[in-house]
Structure 1
Amino acid sequence: YDREVVVAEWPSKKICHCLVSTSASSEHRVWADLPDSLLHLIIALLSSFHDLLAFTGTCHSWRAAVFSFPSSIYAFVFPPLHLKAGLRKANRDYGTWYYLLSNYKWRLCDPVRTDLSLRRLAPRNAPNYMRYLGCSYGHLIFSCLEHLLLVDVYTGTKVKLPKLQANSGCAIYCGILMAPLSSSSSCLLLFSKSSVFQWQVGTNSWTEYPLVSEQFFIQIVLFKGQMFAIDFPHTLKTISLAPHPSVQEVDVVWGEDIVVGLNYDPWLVVCGDMLLMVDLVDDLISNGTFQVFCFDSSAEPTKWTKMEKLENWALFLSLDRMSPTFSCMNPERWGGKSNCIYLPSVSKDSDEPWIAVELGQAVYSTSRSNSYILGGRSNQLESLWVLPSLVYGVRQ
C-alpha cells in the first residue's frame, strides 16, 4: 500500500517552554530522563489535545512516553476534537452513494480551546468520487468501487490501499480498523451484506470471507476485545473473526418500563468498563429526549438497564452512526459538563458547532428551529467527533 506523508502542526505557538529558558545541561537531562512511569501519570492528567501536543513536543523521551502510554491502565480525560465537514464548491453526486472527495474540507476544533482550529482539505489527487464508510483511530475511511483510501483527519496523510477484487454486486457499506494503523496487528475490515473483507496492515491483498447477516449493521464498536454491532431494529450482535467470521445475536432482555424510540437508530458508546446504548425518544410529550441503557452481562439472561444519570461522565455522539462515539470522565476538568450528551449541530441558523444536552432534557426547542440530523447513515462526510491518530500512539 502507498502512504503519503504530510507534516502538520496546529496553528499556534508552542505552549510548553520547560526546556527553553534553562541554560544548564544538567537540568535538561533531569527533564529528559524522567521515568516513563511518572510521565504516564502526567499524560493521564492532560486536559486537552493541545496539552498532548505540547507534551510530545518537549523532547524525544517525552514523545516516546506517549507511544508507550498503557491505555489499558490509564485513560485520556480530555474530550475528542470536533470535525466540521463542508464543501469548497457545489457538489455533484455520482449515483446516490458517492461524492466528489476533492471538494471536501473540514475544520478541527478543540472544545477546550475553541479559539483555535485547524483547517484541512481532502487529498487533491485522490479518486474522484468516494463513499464515506466510517472513521477509526483518527482515520477517515473512503471507498469507490475497488478503490480504498484512508485519510488522517489531523495531518491530511493519505494511505492508498490495495484494490479490492470484489464482484460488481457487492456493495461495501461500512469499515472499521481493529487497531491503530501503526500496529503490526492492525487490520481493516469492510462489510457488505454477504461478505467481510480483511486487509492486514503491510500486505498487498484482501481476504474475503462469507458473512451471513440478515440486516445491515448500523454501528460497530470494540469493547473488551469483542466486536459488538447493532442493527435494525435495535438488535445487539457480536462479530467473531476466528476460527471464521460469524455473527451471533445477543439475547438481551428489555425492562418492561423501557420505551424504545421510534424512527431513529441508537448509538453504542464504550464508557469505561460499560457498554451503553443511547436512544432518542421523539414525540410531542418528550420533545426529543435521550435515554441511556447499560449492557448488564452479569445478569441471567443479559439485559439493558436504564440509567437515570451518567454521574461524572459525558458522552459524545456523532451524526453518522458509523462515525465514532466517545465518553469522557470528569469533564469539568476542561470546562465541560457531567451527565451531558454532546451532539454536533447541523443548524444553519446556529453559530454553535455542537450542543450539550443534559440527560432527560429536551433536545429540541419548542419551536424546533434547530435542525439535527439523527438518521443512521448518510454515506457522506458530516460533522463528527474524533481523536487524532497521535492519541493512539501512532508515529508520524
Structure 2
Amino acid sequence: MCRHQGWADLPDALLHSIIPLSGSFSDLLSFAATCRSWRASISSYPLKSTLSALFPPILLQPDIPVRSPHHRPFGDKLPCHVIDLASQHSHLRCQIPLVNLSTANNDPQSPLGSFCFIGASCGHLIFSRNRSCLIVDAFTGVSVSPPQIPGDEYTKVYYGALTAPLASPNSHLLVSNESHTFVWRVGSHSWLRPSPCDGTVKQIVNFKGQVVGMNSSHALFVAHLGPKIRVQEVLVSCAEMPTIGNLSNLCLVACGDKLLLVGCQGSFPARGDTFEVFRLYQSTDSPKWVKVEDLGNWSIFISTDKRSQPLSCMNPERWGGRSNCVYCYSHDSEHWIAFELGRPASNPSNFVFISCGSVVQPMWVVPSMFSG
C-alpha cells in the first residue's frame, strides 16, 4: 500500500514534464518559489538552454523606479520596474544597486556609490570600481565580490561578462580594460590573463557549449577555459566584411543552433534605419558570414547598453510577439519596439539609443536559474 505523499515529494520526472508547459518566466519563478524540491527540479532540468528560448526575456526598466529613492527595502538596492512580455500582469521585482539610479553620486553612505556598470549576462549585473568588481543577481540581489584585478590604482574596467551563472560549476568572470583581458574562476583566489589575446574583449556569448567572443577589432575568437585558459582566434572569410563594416552597434547573438552577427544600418535604429543579420557558416574551407534574409520563427532582443548580452526567443507568437523581429527599448515611449528584419520600425518617431555608460540602462534579462 503506497503511503500518501505531499506536493513537495513529487518525483523529478513528473516535475520536469510540467516545467516546459509554463507560459512565462514569471510562471517558472513562481514554480521555483513553491518549495525547495521544486526549485531543485529546475536546477536539474536537463535542457535549460532550450527552456530559456521558449519565453521572451524580462525587460528591466531602471529609468522607471517603482519606489521613492528614500525608501530602501533592500538596503543598498532598490526594485525597478520589470515587465514580462509573456505575463504582463505579473508582479516581479528586480534589485538594482542604488548607484545606477542616477548619474550623480548623491549617496555617499552607500558602498556602491562609486561603482560603474560594465555588463550584464546570465541574469547578473556586473559593476566595477578601479580594480574592484561586484556581481549582483538581478532578481535575488545576491552579490559576489571577486579578488582585486591585477593592475594599479588607475586601472579601469570597461567590460565584464559571466561565462555561466554563478551557481554553475564552471562559471568564470571575464573583464577587459583598455589593454588587457583577465579571467576569474568563481570561487578562486586570483585572476588569470589568457594568452594570446589580441585586442580587448568587446563581447562574449555562450554558443553550443563554447564561449565565443568578439574583440575591439570585431575579430571572432573562442575562449577555452580549461585546463589552461587561452583565446583562439577564428579566421572568418572577409567576403561580407565591407557590408558588415558599414553597420553600427555590432553584436553576437546565439539563436538556437546558429551564431548570428547583428548590426544596424545607420547610427541608431530609428528614422528609417534597419537591422541586418549575418550567420556564421562553417564551410569546408573557412568560416564565413552569410547574410540572413529571414530569422524564421525566432526573434532577437537587444538591450540599450551594448555590454548587455543580446538574447533570442523561439516562436514569439506563442506569447503574442512577432517572429523575424529585433526587439529594442525606446526611451521616448518607455516601451519596447519590434523592428522587422530589414525594415525600419513602424513608428518612425521612435528613437533607440544604444551606448555604453556608467549607469544601468533598460535591458533584457533571463533569470540566472534559467541561464544555464
Q: TM-score range by the shorter chain?
A: 0.7 to 0.9
| Residue 211 (structure 1) shift | 4.9
Read off the aligned partner of 2:306 and give its amino acid letter.
Answer: R
Q: Is the 8 A contact 1:194 1:212 kept in 2?
A: no
- Displacement of 1:294 in angstroms is 0.9
**Residues 256 and 127 of structure 1: CA distance in aligned 2, closer, same or farther (over 3 Å):** closer
Aligned to 1:68: 44
The answer to whether the 8 A contact 1:313-1:339 is kept is yes
Following superposition, the deviation at residue 295 of structure 1 comes to: 0.7
- Say if 2:31 is the partner of 1:55: yes
Is 165-174 or 148-157 further displaced after alignment? 165-174
Give the deviation of 1:193 after TM superposition: 4.0
Q: Which one of the candidate residues 330, 353, 361 is aligned to 1:345?
A: 330
Q: Write the letter of the residue equivalent to 1:40.
A: H
Q: Kindly provide the CA deviation profile for residues 170-222 of structure 1, in whole angstroms up to 9, marking residues without a partner as x.
A: 3322112222212333222222244333333233x322426555533321112
> Paired residue for 1:112?
86
Cα distance in 1 for residues equivalent to 2:218 and 2:271: 20
| Corresponding pairs, count | 350
**Which stretch of the first structure deviates more once superposed, 273-282 or 152-161?**
152-161
SS at match of 2:244: coil
Deviation at 1:302, TM superposition (A): 0.9
The answer on whether the counterparts of 2:49 and 2:370 sit within 8 Å (CA) in structure 1 is no
User: Alpha-carbon deviation of 1:289?
Assistant: 0.9
d(CA) in 1 for partners of 2:80 and 2:132? 22
State the secondary structure of the residue aligned to 1:38: helix
* Counterpart for residue 55 of structure 2: 78
- Where structure 1 has 5 or more consecutive residues not aligned to the other structure, the ranges are 1-24, 90-101
Aligned-residue Cα RMSD (Å) equals 3.3
Matches within 5 A, 1:65-144: 65-71=41-47, 74-76=50-52, 77-86=54-63, 106-117=80-91, 118=93, 120-122=95-97, 125-144=110-129
Deviations 1:105-131 (CA, angstroms, capped at 9, x unpaired): 632211122234425452574332112
* 1:233-244 equivalent positions in 2, closer than 5 A: 233-242=217-226, 244=228
Structure 1 residue 358 and structure 2 residue 334: aligned?
Answer: no
Q: Cα–Cα, structure 1 residues 239 and 139, in superposed 2: closer, same or farther, change >3 Å? A: same
Question: Rg: which structure is higher?
Answer: 1
TM-score by length of 1: 0.77
Confirm or deny that 1:313 pairs with 2:295.
no
Residues in 2 aligned to 1:230 and 1:332: alpha-carbon distance in whole angstroms: 31
Q: 1:160 to 1:289 in 2, by over 3 A?
A: same
8 A contact 2:200–2:215 mirrored in 1:
yes
Match of 2:319 in 1: 334
Shift of 1:133: 1.4
Asked whether the equivalents of residues 234 and 265 of structure 1 are also in contact (C-alpha less than 8 Å), the reply is no
Provide the C-alpha distance between the structure 2 equivalents of 1:188 and 1:136, rounded to a whole number of angstroms: 10
1:252-297 per-residue CA deviation (whole Å, 9 max, x = no partner) reads: 1244697336361211110111111111112899921111111112
Alignment partners' CA distance in 1, 2:270 and 2:41? 51
- Partners of 2:346 and 2:242 lie apart in 1 by 21
Superposition map of 1:1-396 within 5 A? 26=4, 29=6, 31-71=7-47, 74-76=50-52, 77-86=54-63, 106-117=80-91, 118=93, 120-122=95-97, 125-203=110-188, 205-209=189-193, 211=195, 213-242=197-226, 244-255=228-239, 259-260=243-244, 262=246, 264-282=248-266, 287-347=272-332, 350-352=333-335, 354-363=336-345, 365-366=347-348, 369-375=349-355, 377-392=356-371
Query: Percent of aligned pairs with the same residue?
Result: 38
In structure 2, the residue corresponding to 1:129 is in which secondary structure?
Answer: coil
Distance 1:171 1:212 in 2: 21
Tell me the SS of whatever aligns to 1:43: helix
Q: Is the CA contact 1:104–1:122 (under 8 Å) kept in the aligned structure 2?
A: yes
Q: 1:73 to 1:174 in 2, by over 3 A?
A: closer
Q: Secondary structure at the match of 1:78?
A: coil
Contact 1:311 1:339 in 2 (8 A): yes
